[in-house]
């Protein structure tokens, strides 16, 4: 965000957005809980849950954390982190499950 110098009007506009985001987050929470009661097949349930969670997370990051208008140095740090995070999160698929004795 344009930290430092914002007029009061601008801030006011922001605060209205915050409440809109809040309602969307509430709605999405309802959606994801609702879906869980349907007991979908596991794969679909995972995909849906992750899609909803990612949407919620994006809203928080973009608007509450002001990532929608952040500086390059922050984007750079986060892009780097995101790249390595991907490697971290695929570790489970690096384990040779074929040889596991259950």
Partner 1 sequence: MTHAEHTHSGHHEMPFWRKYIFSIDHKVIGLQYGITATFFLLFGFFLMILMRWQLAYPGVEIPFIGKALTETGALTPDLYNALGAMHGTIMIFLGVVPMAVGAFGNYLVPLQVGAQDMAFPKLNMMSYWVYFVGGVVMMSSFLMPGGAAASGWTSYPPLSVTANNAQTVWLLAMVFLITSSLLGSINTIVTAVQLRAKGLSFMRWPVHVWAQVATAFLLLLAFPPLEGAAVLQLVDRVFGSSFFLPSGLYIDGAKASVAGGGNPLLWQHLFWFLAHPEVYVLILPAVGVISEIISTNSRKPIYGYKTMVYSILFLGFMSFVVWAHHMFMTGMGVTLSSFFQATTMIISIPSVIILTTLLLTLWGASIRFTVPMLFALAFLPMFAIGGLTGLPLGLTASDIHLHDTYYVIGHFHYVVAPGTLFALMGGVYFWYPKITGRQMNQFLGKLHFWLSFVAINFVFMPMFLMGSKGVSRRLYDQTGYSHGAATQSWNVIMSTAAFVLLLAQIPFLYNMFTSWKWGKKVENDNPWEATTLEWAASSPPPHENFPTPVEVYREPYSYSPTSRKVRPQFSQQEA
Partner 2 sequence: MSVQIPYIDEPHPVTGVTNAKLGVWLFLASEVMLFGALFSALITLRLGVNDWPHGYDILNVPLATLNTVVLIFSSVTVVMAWASLKMQNLSRFRTYMVLTILCSFIFLAVKAVEYGHKFEHGISPATSNFYAIYFVITGLHGLHIIGGIIVNAYLLGPGSRMWKTQPERFTGRIECAGLYWHFVDLVWIFLFPILYLL
Partner 3 sequence: MMEQLSNAWKNVLDRKGFDYGLPIDISTHGAAIDRLITTLHYFMALLFIGWGIYLVYCLVRFRDREGHQADVSEKHFGVPKYLEMGIVIFEACLLVFFSYPVWAKLKTDFPDRANSLVVRVVAEQFAWNIHYPGRDGKFGKTSIDLIDGTNPVGLDREDADAKDDIVTINQLVVPVGKPVIVELSAKDVIHGFFLPVARVKHDAIPGMTFPLWFETKEVGEFQIACAQLCGVGHYKMMGQFLVKTPEDFEQWHLDEEKALTE
Compute the least distance from the CB of residue 2 to partner 1, in Å.
Answer: 18
Of the residues 83, 92, 96, 98, which one makes contact with partner 2 according to CB under 8 A = 92
Residue 93 lies near partner 3 (rule: CB under 8 A): no
Tokens 């986060």 found at: 78
The angle formed by the CA atoms of residues 81, 32 and 91, to the nearest 5 degrees, is: 35
Q: Which residues does 29 contact at the CB level (< 8 Å), separation at least 6?
A: 56
Q: Directed axis angle between helix 42-59 and helix 8-38, to 10°? A: 170
Examine residue 26 and tell whether it contacts partner 2 (CB under 8 A).
Answer: yes
Asked if 52 and 28 touch (Cβ cutoff 8 Å), the reply is yes
**Is residue 94 close enough to count as binding partner 3 by CB under 8 A?**
no
Residue with tokens 């973009």: 62
Contact status, residue 45 vs residue 35, Cβ threshold 8 Å:
yes
- Contact between 23 and partner 1 by CB under 8 A: the answer reads no
The residues binding partner 2 (CB under 8 A) are 3-4, 6, 8, 11-12, 14-15, 18-19, 21-22, 25-26, 29, 32-33, 35-37, 42, 45-46, 49-50, 52-53, 56-57, 60-61, 64-65, 71-74, 77-78, 80-81, 84-85, 88-89, 91-93, 95, 97, 100, 102
């Amino acid at each position: 965000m344009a930290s430092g110098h914002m007029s009061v009007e601008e801030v006011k506009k922001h605060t209205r957005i915050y409440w809109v985001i809040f309602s969307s987050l509430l709605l999405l929470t309802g959606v994801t809980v609702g879906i869980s009661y349907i007991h979908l097949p596991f794969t679909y349930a995972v995909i849906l849950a992750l899609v909803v969670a990612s949407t919620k997370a994006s809203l928080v990051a973009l608007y509450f954390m002001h990532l929608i208008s952040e500086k390059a140095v922050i984007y750079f740090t986060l892009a780097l982190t995101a790249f390595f995070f991907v490697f971290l999160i695929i570790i489970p698929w690096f384990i040779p499950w074929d040889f596991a004795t259950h």
